[in-house]
Chain A
């Protein structure tokens, strides 16, 4: 088992004809993911070809869903159009929308999040690497990869990984894989101040997934999502959890690359988050080199 997506999940790509979307659609196909449709308004009827596979392109998500039965999408459209693309996916009844796009205005995401209230569609991102459920083949081939994460670093197994970062997540996954510890599902929830799924949302899913035996949570400065997750973990989580918080050396009031990575008004410090982790019994890695080992020692 896994959470949110599994090897057979049918995926469509919004913005498949852009260079970024096309490249990662190809990599997902190479990884063995079921990419069944592309959506680019005005290019409906064209075909996206890669590796002998022909992926039909549709003008609307609704049409793509109707014709192909896709249940999840990857959003690669430019920031100015991304809010619209996310809500189009929700309107078409997708179970999961993964927004990779970086640079979406906060105001757009506030509206998107409000519009998603009461809907069954789950949103990962934006400004995130996406989600990977590793497959059983060589270098985890045959898994479901939605987004931009490198597929080969994964290995099928029983650790759930959730993080706000991209490359720091790859680092953590790679540490796990090279120590022989595979993953059930790995999710990068993104570095923006208004994300879809939160750390806590993902932790709850991992807690309920019988195939996830341990959880690695990676946070960073800004906001209070890590503290919120820690409070829930303390009372409810039955599985070993280890974590790391990036940004202990970040100066207050400065945005550290991610739009959401900022200490403001004395809130969102690494110190406060690490304290919350410790209070919840979460194993805290002293350095980013020890993320996997910290969790594996607890299991």
Chain B
């Protein structure tokens, strides 16, 4: 699960990570109140930041033509004027795809005088099954680009899960960033807090980009998280009721939400051949073989290792809500479950939905002969495939090759 920047900063603050004075706002009235508080706090400028689950907001464009999902205002009125152009409108960035995301919350922040920018992240290093803290002096940049071009500018420190982050490790990271004096100690505390947020919240990624040295109105310098991104491990969410409440369904595809209600794993893609498969690996392999024979998969859909009749019916309904779909490939390897039960489920689902599209079914495994008989005697115009190759070729032929 992903959360918004303002929510990420709320979590970070709980673990002692310094964040700037910021207030989320969902209406123009709230924006005005928030901006007044920010200016009363001594900040000459007010920053208005669109809250969507995607990066590249600053350089994004609203579908209205308004440029920039992050704006700096010199007054409360100007901040409200920017907010008017953002709230309720769809922002397209390099990460959102052409559909963009509707902005429903803004983060109203004080304008910071930035002296230095760093990159700091915590993630799982799968190669060693340990948490990894990554820091770089190249803050505000695309870290993948930094990793590709100047890997020596990324400092890495692995954390032993038996002891957690030790103070000396936080100091090593801070030293690698070149900080001195009071800032050195502040940054070490900051790094420790960011790691603890990752660990305690069951996060899969905490990314602070940029982590900044800013100059306060009184001339002193301090370290703050100017931007923050947190992704959570879905499997750990049951431990965190407060984080569960941060889920924003507006950021998720409606069909994927619908699928999750039936314990189906559905991901919409942009092709026209839908697939319905049991098991994630086989589902990926089915998408691959469709493409191998010149078709384009419309979705990933895993009905689980032991799909029930209700799940199969729900899966058909979800697939059919995608108007791009021109044909369906069902690929089931019934290991333990009975292929005949699945066949019966398919027949019921097809009749219930009044399916008109070409349907190719490939069944294999337990009681497959009875399953094929059920399909053959159903009176439905479905096509059976003997192998994955056969089924994939048949569905591609039925739909016709897409040229895109």
> In the assembled complex, which residues on chain A have CB atoms less than 8 Å from the CB atom of B287?
249-250
CB closest chain-A residue, reference B305:
A166
Q: Is A191 an interface residue (CB 8 A)?
A: yes
Q: Interface readout for B281-314 with A: 1 if CB under 8 Å, 0 if not?
A: 1111111111110000100101001000000000
Q: Taking the nearest CB of chain B, how far is it from the CB of A277, in angstroms? A: 15
Are B267's CB and A166's CB within 8 A? no
Are B233's CB and A106's CB within 8 A? yes
Q: Is B16 an interface residue (CB 8 A)?
A: no
How far apart are the CA atoms of A204 and B265 in the complex, in Å?
34
Q: Which stretch from A1-9, A39-47, A252-260 is at the chain B interface?
A: A252-260
How far apart are the CA atoms of A220 and B283 in the complex, in Å?
11
Query: Interface size on B (CB < 8 Å)?
Result: 54
Q: Is A244 an interface residue (CB 8 A)?
A: yes
Are B124's CB and A193's CB within 8 A? yes
Contact A194-B202, Cβ < 8 Å, known A150-B365, A286-B292: no
Contact A247-B284, Cβ < 8 Å, known A194-B124, A259-B235, A286-B292: yes
How far apart are the CA atoms of A163 and B281 in the complex, in Å?
9
Are B289's CB and A171's CB within 8 A? no
Interface residues on A, range: 35 or more
Q: Is B336 an interface residue (CB 8 A)?
A: yes
Query: Would you list which residues of chain B between 370 and 404 have a CB under 8 Å from chain A?
Result: 387-389, 392
Q: Interface readout for B271-286 with A: 1 if CB under 8 Å, 0 if not?
A: 0000001111111111
Most interface-central of A109, A152, A174, A246 (chain B CB within 10 A): A246
Partner of A105, one of B126, B130, B233: B233
Query: Would you list which residues of chain A between 217 and 239 have a CB under 8 Å from chain B?
Result: 218, 220-225, 228
Q: Is B169 an interface residue (CB 8 A)?
A: no
Q: Which stretch from A53-61, A86-94, A110-118, A179-187 is at the chain B interface?
A: A110-118
Q: Taking the nearest CB of chain A, how far is it from the CB of B156, in angstroms? A: 13
Q: Is B190 an interface residue (CB 8 A)?
A: no
Q: Is B369 an interface residue (CB 8 A)?
A: no
> In the assembled complex, which residues on chain B have CB atoms less than 8 Å from the CB atom of A250?
284, 287, 300
Contact A27-B336, Cβ < 8 Å, known A223-B127, A254-B267: yes
Q: Taking the nearest CB of chain B, how far is it from the CB of A292, in angstroms? A: 11
Q: Is B238 an interface residue (CB 8 A)?
A: yes
Are A105's CB and B235's CB within 8 A? yes
Are A171's CB and B333's CB within 8 A? yes
Are B281's CB and A167's CB within 8 A? yes
CB closest chain-B residue, reference A194:
B129
> In the assembled complex, which residues on chain A have CB atoms less than 8 Å from the CB atom of B286?
288
Are A220's CB and B281's CB within 8 A? yes
Partner of B285, one of A105, A114, A225, A288: A288
> In the assembled complex, which residues on chain A have CB atoms less than 8 Å from the CB atom of B302?
257
> In the assembled complex, which residues on chain A have CB atoms less than 8 Å from the CB atom of B335?
149-150, 153, 166-167, 170
Partner of A223, one of B126, B147, B387: B126
Are A174's CB and B300's CB within 8 A? no
Q: Taking the nearest CB of chain A, how far is it from the CB of B119, in angstroms? A: 13
CB closest chain-A residue, reference B336:
A150
Are A168's CB and B279's CB within 8 A? yes
Partner of A289, one of B144, B278, B300, B388: B388
Q: Is A37 an interface residue (CB 8 A)?
A: no
Contact A287-B126, Cβ < 8 Å, known A107-B233, A148-B305: no
How far apart are the CA atoms of A17 and B127 in the complex, in Å?
36
Q: Taking the nearest CB of chain B, how far is it from the CB of A231, in angstroms? A: 12
How far apart are the CA atoms of A256 and B234 in the complex, in Å?
13
> In the assembled complex, which residues on chain A have CB atoms less than 8 Å from the CB atom of B289?
287-289
> In the assembled complex, which residues on chain B have CB atoms less than 8 Å from the CB atom of A220?
280-281, 284
Query: Would you list which residues of chain A between 129 and 158 have a CB under 8 Å from chain B?
Result: 129, 148-150, 152-153
Q: Is A52 an interface residue (CB 8 A)?
A: no
Query: Would you list which residues of chain B between 196 and 210 have a CB under 8 Å from chain A?
Result: 199, 202, 204
Q: Is A279 an interface residue (CB 8 A)?
A: no
Q: Taking the nearest CB of chain A, how far is it from the CB of B371, in angstroms? A: 15
CB closest chain-A residue, reference B233:
A106
Q: Is B138 an interface residue (CB 8 A)?
A: no
Q: Is A33 an interface residue (CB 8 A)?
A: no
> In the assembled complex, which residues on chain B have CB atoms less than 8 Å from the CB atom of A129?
305
Q: Is B185 an interface residue (CB 8 A)?
A: no
CB closest chain-B residue, reference A247:
B284
How far apart are the CA atoms of A249 and B271 in the complex, in Å?
11
> In the assembled complex, which residues on chain A have CB atoms less than 8 Å from the CB atom of B160?
114
> In the assembled complex, which residues on chain A have CB atoms less than 8 Å from the CB atom of B88?
none
For the complex of A and B, list the 4 residue pairs with the smallest distance between their C-beta atoms, beginning with the closest. Answer: A165-B281, A257-B280, A167-B279, A168-B281
24 contacts between A and B (CB under 8 A): A103-B235, A104-B235, A106-B233, A108-B236, A148-B336, A149-B335, A165-B280, A166-B335, A167-B335, A171-B282, A171-B333, A194-B126, A220-B281, A222-B126, A248-B291, A249-B288, A249-B290, A250-B284, A254-B267, A256-B283, A256-B284, A257-B280, A257-B302, A288-B288
Besides the known contacts A107-B199, A153-B335, A265-B143, 7 further A-B residue pairs in the complex with CB atoms under 8 A apart: A166-B282, A171-B282, A171-B364, A223-B126, A249-B290, A250-B287, A254-B267
